[in-house]
Amino acid sequence: MGVPDAAAKRISRLRHEIEHHNYLYYVLDAPELPDAEFDRLFRELQDLETQYPESRTTDSPTQRVGAPPLDAFDTVRHAVPMLSLNNALSVAEAEAFDRRVREALGVDTVEYSMEPKFDGLAVSLTYEDGVLVTGATRGDGYEGEDVTANLRTVRAIPLRLDQEGRPRVLEVRGEVLMLKRDFERLNDYHRSKGEKPFANPRNAAAGSLRQLDSRITAGRNLSFFAYGVGRSDPFPPGVTTQSGLLDWLASLRFPVARDRQVTTGVDGLLDYYRGIGERRKALAYEIDGVVYKVNDFRLQDELGYVSRAPRFAIAHKFPPEEELTEVLGIEVQVGRTGALTPVARLKPVTVGGVRVTNATLHNEDEVHRKDIRVGDTVVVRRAGDVIPEVVRRVPVSGTRGPEFHLPDRCPVCGSAAPRAEGEAIRRCAGGLFCEAQRKQALIHFASRRAMDIEGLGERLVDQLVDRGLVHSPADLYSLTAAALGGLDRMGEKSADNVVKAIGMSRHTTLARFIYALGIRNVGEATARDLARHFGDFVPFMEADLEALTAVPEVGPVVARSILEFFEQPHNREVIGRLLGVIDWPRVETAGATAKSPVSGKTFVLTGTLPNLTRDQARALIEAAGGKVAGSVSSRTSFVVAGEEAGSKLARARELDIRVLDENGLLELFPDDHPSIAKQQKEGS
């Protein structure tokens, strides 16, 4: 039976009233109703939805109380990557940012939008026809966790956008956090129950948002502030600046930072930074700095992106908090590249709300320069409010240990650990034969941005190495479900899934493979440059110093790291085995790509293509000498648009830039091009 008209109207009216009062209370901090009256309205709505269950919808305020527990979170791929910001840790670095922006734009002054940098958890909220349908964590920037049920419990987040003219699809980005007052209440409750309190509001917010039982999240009183839009279809007309975008989001009833400002020039940036820093402790929420963004979207597009961060924005971090403690010991850690790093074991101390027991001493020269020894009292800080480090020794009376020296042999495998001329770091020469390096090398090899082997995490790698099942990345491709099934916490289904994930990784891109090898100083961007230049692995492996330094952005330091890597016989032996099981689209050398219509052109990818993944399309373009940018500007040659293309497509049409679908992209490549393009054409 249907819902009677009178009941349907009352349900609609109650939902509107309750969300209006939620907005007044949680966003504007200006409640109009007594709590008892609000509770009466809420109970009336619950009763009506219980009486007429077919009336219950996902955007009802009653859905904020939480849902039954989940077994696990699903993965959500962001339609537009959620990129991170570069940091400025000093006034000089903030001034350098302004100088770079002005020089790139060829202007004397730039208008900036300024906002607090919330110390919370970045999330993405997707609305379709005004209704919240998906909420996800940032994750690695490309994929996050589906925490929709938990985000629906955050009362500051609108479940429905009622404004006329709202976009058909809107993805809002912002920060979930816990206000200081709510953090104290939560910890008081935990203490009253004899439970361990949270270290800081950020940890409390992150832990609350990742609860599999959203009813627990609902009781944590999380808050939210919007700071941007990932995509909008259509983009709001007349919104051309970051400050205008925040005003528009506020008109949709999203909470945005009240402490935001607009200024012109670097002096305005620094005045804002100092002013909000002075008021930091009085703010209702924790911040760890401020964010500067070029205000004009047109200028943002012109500046574009570098690696995984925008050129038009930067986070100016506050100086880290410092505390005194005692050095109980100095140990040596061996990293993925073989670097021996001295680490101070400390008498536990709370720094910036986090309990610290270890802190890096960086290298042997730093230990000697600061004269750090066992028994010393030292100043510890969290660099960038994240990584603990020993800043300096405090001279006090007492017994000091002997002067520290790094060993000349690896403490893990016993191999020689020489210190190269001109370097501050000793490195174990054991390579993949060193257990410490082996584990880290395998974790890096399997990571999402490398070979992307899902399920091959740190715990599983530890077991594989400790039990002698894997000695190098090549051994992964010989693993069987039966061998994995004998490991701890590895059931039959999990073992099958890992073996399938390893099998899927056999088909990758040359850039991913180069990056996965873990060559010192070769990151993702450099791996792409090398793949684009050499076209295949053997020419890259056999290249000499002159050939390597001919690659754009590859200097002598990177080139020498590559040569040293390939000089090791065990590395070549492992690579030889890997080349027998891994493949990627083969292309001619980069010199031959000069004849390609793609060479030298700049592409922007948007939306979902029917056959090619975003990584495949990028690899295809870059292998043929093209470039892939993150934003549309006057320098863009082509925009490749798939389903649910958003603001980038609209921007391309504004600038009269040629738009291609997947077939149009593939037509740019010759029929004899031995690549993904040919494979897709043959399969279509």
Q: Which residues of 292-302 are buried (b: 16+ CB within 10 A; e: fewer)?
A: bbbbbbebbbb
Are 292 and 314 within 8 A, CB to CB? Answer: yes
Close Cβ partners of 411 (under 8 Å, ≥ 6 residues apart) = 332, 334, 340
| Other CB atoms within 10 Å distance of the CB of residue 138 | 20
Q: Distance between CA 244 and CA 253 in Å, rounded?
A: 14
Q: Which residues are catalytic?
A: 117
**Tokens representing residue 464 in the block:** 């594989």
Q: Kind of pairing, strands 121-128 and 169-177?
A: antiparallel
Report angle CA 627, 633, 638 to the nearest 5 degrees.
50
Are 630 and 83 within 8 A, CB to CB? Answer: yes
In the block, tokens 């350098």 appear at 96
Q: Distance between CA 666 and CA 678 in Å, rounded?
A: 8
Residues, the chain? 684
Ramachandran region, residue 301 (left: φ > 0; alpha: ψ -120 to 50; beta: rest): alpha
Close Cβ partners of 24 (under 8 Å, ≥ 6 residues apart) = 30, 31, 32
Are 228 and 175 within 8 A, CB to CB? Answer: no
Query: Which amino acid appears at position 188 of this protein?
Result: D
What are the Cα distances from residue 19, in Å, to 12, 15, 60, 150?
11, 6, 9, 17
Q: Distance between CA 36 and CA 458 in Å, rounded?
A: 51
Residue 542 burial by CB count (10 A; 0-12/13-18/19+): exposed, middle or buried? Answer: exposed
Ramachandran region, residue 409 (left: φ > 0; alpha: ψ -120 to 50; beta: rest): beta
Count CA atoms within 13 Å of residue 273 on its CB side.
23
Count CA atoms within 13 Å of residue 244 on its CB side.
12
In the block, tokens 């088909």 appear at 507
Q: Distance between CA 81 and CA 136 in Å, rounded?
A: 12
**Tokens representing residue 134 in the block:** 């998906």
Please choose, from the candidates 336, 210, 307, 242, the residue with its C-alpha nearest in 3D space to the C-alpha of residue 528.
307
Phi and psi angles of residue 185, each rounded to the nearest 5 degrees, phi first: -65, -40
In the block, tokens 């990818």 appear at 605
Query: Which amino acid appears at position 326 of this protein?
Result: E
Q: Can you name the residues that pair with 325 across neighbouring β-strands?
A: 378
**Tokens representing residue 308 in the block:** 């995984």
For residue 395, the SS3 value is coil
Report angle CA 54, 55, 58 to the nearest 5 degrees.
100
Please choose, from the candidates 423, 615, 413, the residue with its C-alpha nearest in 3D space to the C-alpha of residue 515.
615
